[in-house]
């Protein structure tokens, strides 16, 4: 056995066979193809197209000199700002002591699964990193069935069916809404019903609300209102403030789960130590709010809503059924009506479909198989983010401030979205 084989044999079995994150992989491939001279419309990585709000950038600049290690759980002033933010938005009574800061909500989710020994319950479809994280740690993953007719949303009945056979088994349920990959969200009644089942089985409920602020109507509600004692709210700066690369996420715990929060802090202390000091100081400004941030969110939501509705209508007109998005910046189109035509070209899986679209017409999207579906589910996730967010915001807040946004606005502010739909429509017609 040579040294390479020896080292390969020693790699953790839980990591073998796992590919790099699908969203990061498609982004790097798209960038590489662009460097090679290809015109690629990047609808793969779900990165906010909007700039970080100016006052938040200024706060980062003003605190660039901050160099000391901060407390493992986070800077107290930031934890106070986040508690205040959650209390304003959700009419809760969180304390700064309930808040844990991390280098992105993805890292916090990972150490949650390290700290809590339980199965992971994930509605199908769900974000690409939930299940791989559980597999790396060695946890069991159970995909909860959903249906297109119900906007691919979890129902309380389906959750109860999964839990009832072993009622006392420790479990973490992840509920992400507005949803990545569908853009759909839950009604109050749906949240209440799910909360009642979660309470019945004493589930840890991780409410991934990273897209909460980009609910198109600004009406996001947390399930923590209905199951406060068992819900951890997850949020951050990446999606609503355009600061994905800043890597700051936060969990807000109920007091009943303080031992779990403390356990996660122990893991944090032995791994990443603390989140970047300048970023934490700057984030105080973001979570403290203000009229300028309210205006930024108002126009961001308007832009995303009109683009999402435009893309939704174009896809439906092509015979590609798609749920109408209510938030975030995603669509989950179903290409199964073209199954026979695609099969004649030996395109029988969602991965093959996405590969063909990238190679033939330069559109980068992600296959349904990355989101928990079988390979032959001919759906894909489309992130409508390849446009100049700064320009779109300026138009929305300027010439279009007092007008309803329309297809004309989309063609002006997001021409590559129209180009993507035109290319896709032509490709489907030629099958």
**What's the pTM?**
0.93
Contact in structure between 208 and 175 (CB atoms under 8 Å): yes
Which residue bears the tokens 């590969």?
A: 355
Q: Is 124 helix (H, G, I), strand (E, B) or coil?
A: coil
Below-50 pLDDT ranges, the chain: 1, 7, 9-10, 21-22
pLDDT at position 200 is: 97
Which tokens hold the place of 417?
A: 């979205």
- DSSP at 430: T
pLDDT at position 12 is: 57
Domains of the chain listed by start with CATH number: 3-51+292-429 (3.90.1150.10), 58-289 (3.40.640.10)
Distance (Å, rounded) from C-alpha 134 to C-alpha 109?
Answer: 10
Sign of CA dihedral 47, 351, 307, 312: negative
pLDDT at position 395 is: 96
pLDDT at position 4 is: 52
Q: Is 363 helix (H, G, I), strand (E, B) or coil?
A: strand
Which residue bears the tokens 């073209």?
A: 338
Contact in structure between 99 and 252 (CB atoms under 8 Å): yes
* Burial zone of 2 (CB within 10 Å; 0-12 exposed, 13-18 middle, 19+ buried): exposed
Distance (Å, rounded) from C-alpha 240 to C-alpha 213?
Answer: 6
Residue 428 half-sphere exposure toward CB, CA atoms < 13 A: 20
DSSP 207-236: EE-TTGGGBTTS----GGGTSTTTEEEEEE
Nearby residues of 219 by Cβ (< 8 Å), 6 or more positions away: none
Sheet containing 380-383, strands listed edge to edge, beginning at the edge strand earlier in sequence: 330-331, 380-383, 366-367
- DSSP at 97: G
Q: Residue-wise over 387-423: b if at least 16 C-beta within 10 A, else e?
A: bbbeebbebbeeebeeeebeeebbeebbebbbbbbeb
pLDDT at position 272 is: 95
pLDDT at position 13 is: 56
Contact in structure between 287 and 270 (CB atoms under 8 Å): no
Q: Is 163 helix (H, G, I), strand (E, B) or coil?
A: helix
DSSP 261-275: HHHHHHHHHTTT-S-
pLDDT at position 38 is: 80
CB-CB neighbours of 54 under 10 Å: 10
Nearby residues of 13 by Cβ (< 8 Å), 6 or more positions away: none
């Amino acid at each position: 056995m040579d040294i390479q084989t020896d080292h390969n044999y020693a790699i953790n079995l839980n990591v073998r066979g796992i590919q790099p994150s699908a969203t990061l992989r498609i982004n790097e491939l798209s960038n590489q193809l662009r460097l090679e001279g290809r015109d690629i419309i990047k609808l793969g990585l779900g990165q906010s197209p909007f700039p970080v709000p100016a006052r938040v950038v200024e706060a980062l600049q003003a605190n660039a000199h901050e160099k000391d290690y901060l407390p493992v759980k986070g800077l107290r002033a930031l934890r106070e700002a986040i508690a205040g933010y959650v209390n304003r938005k959700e009419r809760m009574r969180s304390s700064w002591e309930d808040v844990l800061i991390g280098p992105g909500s993805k890292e916090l989710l990972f150490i949650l699964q390290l700290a809590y020994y339980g199965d992971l319950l994930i509605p199908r479809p769900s974000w690409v990193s939930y299940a791989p994280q559980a597999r790396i740690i060695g946890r069991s993953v159970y995909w909860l069935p959903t249906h297109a007719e119900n906007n691919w949303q979890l129902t309380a009945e389906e959750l109860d069916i999964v839990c009832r056979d072993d009622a006392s088994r420790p479990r973490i349920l992840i509920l992400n809404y507005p949803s990545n990959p569908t853009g759909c969200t839950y009604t109050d009644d749906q949240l209440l019903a799910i909360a009642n089942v979660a309470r019945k089985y004493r589930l840890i409920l991780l409410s991934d609300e990273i897209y909460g602020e980009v609910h198109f109507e600004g009406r996001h509600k947390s399930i923590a209102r209905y199951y406060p004692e068992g819900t951890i709210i997850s949020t951050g700066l990446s999606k609503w403030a355009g600061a994905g690369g800043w890597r700051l996420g936060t969990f807000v715990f109920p007091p009943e789960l303080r031992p779990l929060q403390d356990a996660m802090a122990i893991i944090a202390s032995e791994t990443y130590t603390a989140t970047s000091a300048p970023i934490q100081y700057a984030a105080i400004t973001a979570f403290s709010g203000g009229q300028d941030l309210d205006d930024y969110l108002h126009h961001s939501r308007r832009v995303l809503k009109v683009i999402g509705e435009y893309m939704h209508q174009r896809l439906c007109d092509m015979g590609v059924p798609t749920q109408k998005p209510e938030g975030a910046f995603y669509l989950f189109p179903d290409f199964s009506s073209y199954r026979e035509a695609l099969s004649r070209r030996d395109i029988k899986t969602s991965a093959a479909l996405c590969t063909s679209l990238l190679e033939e017409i330069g559109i980068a999207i992600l296959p349904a198989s990355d989101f928990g579906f079988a390979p032959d589910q001919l759906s894909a996730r489309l992130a409508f983010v390849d446009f100049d967010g700064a320009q779109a915001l300026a138009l929305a807040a300027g010439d279009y401030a007092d007008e309803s946004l329309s297809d004309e606005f989309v063609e002006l502010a997001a021409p590559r979205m129209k180009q993507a739909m035109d290319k896709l429509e032509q490709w489907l017609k030629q099958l």
